[in-house]
Chain A
Amino acid sequence: MRTPKMGGCAGLRVACAALFLLLLGTFFTAAAGAPKRGGTLHLGFPEDFKSLDPAFGFTINTMPVQRILFESLLDMDDDNQVIPWAAREWRISADQKTYTLRLQPNLRFSTGRPVVAADYVYSIERILDPKTASLGQSYFSSIRGQDAFRKGQTNHVAGLRAPAPDVLEIDLEQPQFTFRFVLCMVFTAAVPREAVESPNSRFSQRPVGSGPYLIKEYQRDVGYRLERNPHYSRLDTAYVDSVEIMIGGDRTLEAMMFDQGELDMVPDLRVTDYFRYRRHPVLNQRLVMVPMASTDYVFLNNEIKPFDDVRVRRALNHAVNKRRLVQLANPAFPVAKGILPPTMPGYDPNLTDYAYDPEQAKRLLAEAGLAGGFRTQFYYGDSVPHWKRLCMAIAEDWSQVGVHADLIQLSAAAMDDAYTTRHKIPCGYYGWVQDYPDPSDFLDVLLNGEGIVETGCNNQAFYNNPQVNAALKEAGNCVDPPRRNALYGAIEKTILRDAPWIPILHPLYPTVVQPWVKGFKPHPVWLYRYETLWIER
């Protein structure tokens, strides 16, 4: 087919229209406030980071800071879509087993040394090395040859290759849909071997990366000053000249400092401060509820009587008044009808929840032969302030249907240990935050019966439904996102019918941001992206 040729006059009209659109676009960009470079961003954290090394420090507070010191291979946009980052291109082979990533030109560490693909091979091998004891290890367990490397049978991971300075190839043992999300995690950031292995580098506290900033000053438990990495070449990110981080105190103190203009942003406000801002006619403009892709739930141990009876588990679901619980935690938090949080692909807002119905709960208990109720122990951790309030309210709700729960508070250390040990805890309160935006991160990780082990078991309910396990396997192998989400949606419904959990609420991070901080937009995975912020006073 011939392409119609454009006449001279028409061409001129198109050129004029294009110029007009360009000017219009420029005008609107300026009106909306184009990013400005300069200034200092002031942040505060109650306690110092355990480590900023990308092999560690996998927490909500640490990740946004690590993301401006390092660059992961890929990133996720606001719609959970994978986008290029340190790698400018990425390709998956037809058999879904080989990832080929081509690096950006001019990538450099803050020391000035160019970043090459071999640095990524080293960095991922370092995470896989048992001596490192990195938290990221399990995310790379599908790479071909990692097992032999971890057992010390080989010096290198066979599935990691750097065929050219700017090309990285990763082979998987079998297709894994979620590996693209793993490549977005800061665990995939390049670290320079010479800095890591230098005896005096103190890499965990003053790491060297290829991100837009470097640590200029650091005093443990006092604060950090981050300044621009002079060798960073990307211009479409990292607008402030420096970031100052104060360590110490608590969120209430930070809120006071925010009001005095000493801090630019305070996340995770205490509920008292949240109400203070919400009720204030001016300050409420600065309040943002940041979704954190998380679900709080009560797990009922399916292996311990009487929770091995589905009627009992359903009864306890019916006995809990979630709306009242949300009022006690923070009225802005959404009630959890299901397992998946609202920002997760596959989230179904139309799920039917167990209605608050104490009479129905009593009927179900009577059917299970427990008309007189029973006594149990109900555990919770001391690490989240509102958990105690909620657990007391849940125990009160249960007592209305004859179930008497003895509340037992555990330290964070004891909680993780006890919750993940088989035959230990009849029921407990917990919250899970996503690692990456895929339903498998909840359904497969937390509720797959095939993953049940004696200790260190994430399936705290010890829920094991062979039908669900098989469906999880099928969904896990599916690489077509819409079909994958539909499969997981069906699995979620089946699990909810079996009621191993009582989903309670989806916590949010109440955050205040100064009016002069521009570009703030909560991210569905990273929550905070300091690299997108600029200061406009």
Chain B
Amino acid sequence: MLVRLTQRLLVSLLTLMGTAVLTFVLVNAVPGDVARVMAGSKASPAVIQEIHEKLHLDDPFWLRLARYLGQVAQGDLGRSYVTSQSVSEAILSRFPPTLALATTAVVLWMLLAVPVGVLTARFRGSWLDRTILIFATLSLSFPAFWLARMLQYWLSFKLGWFPVAGLKSFRHLLLPGATLAVLYVGYYSRLIHANMLEVLESPHIRAARAKGLPELPVLFRHGLRNAWIPVVTILGMDVSSLLGGVMFTENVFALPGIGTLAVQSVLNLDVPMIMGTVLFGAAMVLATNLLVDLLYQWIDPRIQTGR
């Protein structure tokens, strides 16, 4: 177990390094002069030159890359070109709102998706199943920015049920969380539905029913547990991408999370901050994948022992 974990960690580090190199190459390929963005269109050539010197922007590409990788290897993500803030500090200060939003959203959509997925599998082909299928298709089709703005306009602005924007209390998270939940609930309910259909046909379910177990324990204890593994895999990937920042939703609801930070850093061509947010997102994906692997073993111990 320990060896496997160590191997996974090493591979993760290499992946992070690869991500860093690739992102650095791409960011530096973007046309435009970061000094101009920082100084504004009215800055004199002398000021632009001074910024170039201050940030070593005229150094050869490989030297800047080597310097950056050396810095990252020491755990230093550098300082923002625009605000001079430490990148690590900026990311850490933005992580709690993103984590809170992601948690709220996951809880909301799973609370809905699990019973809906199980029940539509149990009553396959019924009017309930067909109606849910229509809603699931709609939920999958909504563009995030449109849905966020619509919910904000109608539920917050027109009806006043939720705060319009900002993050002052848990209430401020409900609507952004619900927005994400609407976007994901359709997919997860269908995913659980599909897996449950397969599981409900398996011999152990028939055996449980034959033994006279009530239907709810059959569905949720014996059925859902076996349908859970593919769901956990996908959930892990989705959670990791949410933790890396939810750009549209955070921007519409003015939540100071990783997503808004990433958008701002791209608009400002703030290279250290772009690198930082991308690496953080990558680290989240790697960490969540590791966690999902561990969860598999808890859900189905045969995975660990190879039975």
Chain B's closest residue to A430 (CB) is: B41
0 or 1 for each of B22-66: is its CB under 8 Å from A? (1 = yes) = 000000001111101111111111111011001000000000000
0 or 1 for each of A390-418: is its CB under 8 Å from B? (1 = yes) = 00000000000000000000111111111
**Which segment, of A109-117, A207-215, A248-256, A358-366, faces chain B?**
A248-256
Decide if B304 is an interface residue (CB 8 Å cutoff): no
Q: Which of A133, A247, A252, A262 contacts B54 (CB 8 A)?
A: A133
Q: Which of B34, B42, B50, B153 contacts A133 (CB 8 A)?
A: B50
- A: number of interface residues (CB 8 Å): 46
Decide if A148 is an interface residue (CB 8 Å cutoff): no
B261 near A221: Cβ-Cβ < 8 Å: yes
Write out the residue numbers on chain B whose beta carbons fall within 8 Å of the beta carbon of A260. 157, 160, 164
Write out the residue numbers on chain B whose beta carbons fall within 8 Å of the beta carbon of A130. 46, 50
- CB contacts under 8 Å to B, within A215-233, are 219-222
Decide if A299 is an interface residue (CB 8 Å cutoff): no
A456 near B48: Cβ-Cβ < 8 Å: yes
**Which of A59, A247, A250, A416 has the most chain B CB atoms inside 10 A of its CB?**
A416
B254 near A246: Cβ-Cβ < 8 Å: yes
A262 near B164: Cβ-Cβ < 8 Å: yes
A249 near B37: Cβ-Cβ < 8 Å: no
Q: Which of B94, B164, B251 contacts A257 (CB 8 A)?
A: B164
User: Distance (Å) between the CB of B295 and the closest chain A CB?
Assistant: 33
Cα A407 to Cα B90 with chains together (Å): 37
A453 near B39: Cβ-Cβ < 8 Å: no
Cα A50 to Cα B50 with chains together (Å): 18
Cα A327 to Cα B83 with chains together (Å): 38
0 or 1 for each of A378-397: is its CB under 8 Å from B? (1 = yes) = 00000000000000000000
Q: Which of A131, A256, A413, A435 contacts B34 (CB 8 A)?
A: A413
Cα A141 to Cα B160 with chains together (Å): 55
Cα A50 to Cα B37 with chains together (Å): 11
- CB contacts under 8 Å to B, within A300-345, are none
Cα A131 to Cα B157 with chains together (Å): 48
Given A50-B83, A249-B251, A456 contacting B44 (CB threshold 8 A): yes
A413 near B36: Cβ-Cβ < 8 Å: yes
User: Distance (Å) between the CB of B246 and the closest chain A CB?
Assistant: 14
Q: How many A-B pairs with Cβ below 8 Å?
A: 130
User: Distance (Å) between the CB of B261 and the closest chain A CB?
Assistant: 7
Chain B's closest residue to A221 (CB) is: B256
Write out the residue numbers on chain B whose beta carbons fall within 8 Å of the beta carbon of A465. none
Q: Which of B32, B94, B264 contacts A417 (CB 8 A)?
A: B32
0 or 1 for each of A127-166: is its CB under 8 Å from B? (1 = yes) = 0001101110110000000000000000000000000000
Write out the residue numbers on chain A whose beta carbons fall within 8 Å of the beta carbon of B167. 222
0 or 1 for each of A411-445: is its CB under 8 Å from B? (1 = yes) = 11111111010000000000000010000000000
0 or 1 for each of A232-248: is its CB under 8 Å from B? (1 = yes) = 00000000000000111
Given A249-B251, A416-B33, A58 contacting B83 (CB threshold 8 A): no
- CB contacts under 8 Å to A, within B226-262, are 251-256, 260-261
Given A248-B255, A248-B260, A260-B157, A138 contacting B33 (CB threshold 8 A): no
A138 near B83: Cβ-Cβ < 8 Å: no
Given A135-B42, A204-B83, A416-B41, A246 contacting B166 (CB threshold 8 A): yes
Write out the residue numbers on chain A whose beta carbons fall within 8 Å of the beta carbon of B164. 253, 256-257, 260, 262
Cα A48 to Cα B94 with chains together (Å): 14
Q: Which of A204, A410, A453 contacts B31 (CB 8 A)?
A: A410
B47 near A204: Cβ-Cβ < 8 Å: no
Decide if A51 is an interface residue (CB 8 Å cutoff): yes
Decide if A205 is an interface residue (CB 8 Å cutoff): yes
Cα A138 to Cα B160 with chains together (Å): 50
Decide if A450 is an interface residue (CB 8 Å cutoff): no
User: Distance (Å) between the CB of B175 and the closest chain A CB?
Assistant: 12
Decide if B267 is an interface residue (CB 8 Å cutoff): yes
Cα A414 to Cα B51 with chains together (Å): 16
B269 near A411: Cβ-Cβ < 8 Å: yes
Cα A414 to Cα B266 with chains together (Å): 13
Write out the residue numbers on chain A whose beta carbons fall within 8 Å of the beta carbon of B157. 256, 259-260
Write out the residue numbers on chain A whose beta carbons fall within 8 Å of the beta carbon of B42. 58, 135, 435, 458
0 or 1 for each of A22-62: is its CB under 8 Å from B? (1 = yes) = 00000000000000000000000001101100000011000
Write out the residue numbers on chain A whose beta carbons fall within 8 Å of the beta carbon of B48. 456
Given A260-B164, A416-B37, A137 contacting B44 (CB threshold 8 A): yes
11 contacting pairs across A/B (C-beta < 8 A): A50-B38, A130-B46, A133-B51, A137-B46, A138-B47, A220-B83, A221-B94, A249-B253, A249-B254, A413-B31, A416-B41
Which residues of A come within 8 Å of B, CB atoms?
Answer: 47-48, 50-51, 58-59, 130-131, 133-135, 137-138, 204-205, 219-222, 246-250, 252-253, 256-257, 259-260, 262, 410-418, 420, 435, 453, 455-456, 458
